[in-house]
Amino acid sequence: NAGVTQTPKFQVLKTGQSMTLQCAQDMNHNSMYWYRQDPGMGLRLIYYSASEGTTDKGEVPNGYNVSRLNKREFSLRLESAAPSQTSVYFCASSGGRFSNQPQHFGDGTRLSIL
């Protein structure tokens, strides 16, 4: 079982460049999430999707956009990368409200903005 798969695993960008981080889950989960992890700050929610076709802002959405392409896939886009967006990005999925399927995380995308 793959669980939650994130691509790429590493990426270096220049300031102002754009890129899309990909995430796919094979657990038939309804809800998907994007977090960023920074030293001393834990994981902070960027965006989430409670179900296919819906997305909502989390704690730190500025500078990001998301697309819930279908039930399996949830992508995160940086339109104009900034050094402050250097971080490790984690995608997660869960069964969603009223389910008993807690959040499972991918292994992250390590992103550096120069």
Residues in touch with another protein (CB under 8 A): 4, 31, 33, 35, 40-45, 48, 50, 58, 90, 92, 94-108
The CA-atom distances, in angstroms, between 10 and each of 21, 53, 101 are: 10, 28, 29
Q: Which is nearer to another protein, 19 or 45 (CB)?
A: 45
For strand 74-78 and strand 87-94, is the pairing parallel, antiparallel, or unpaired? unpaired
Least separation, in Å, of the C-beta of 67 and another protein?
A: 18
Q: Which is nearer to another protein, 72 or 104 (CB)?
A: 104
DSSP state of 83: G
Please, are residues 45 and 32 in contact by the beta-carbon 8 Å criterion? Answer: no
Q: Which is nearer to another protein, 19 or 43 (CB)?
A: 43
Least separation, in Å, of the C-beta of 97 and another protein?
A: 5
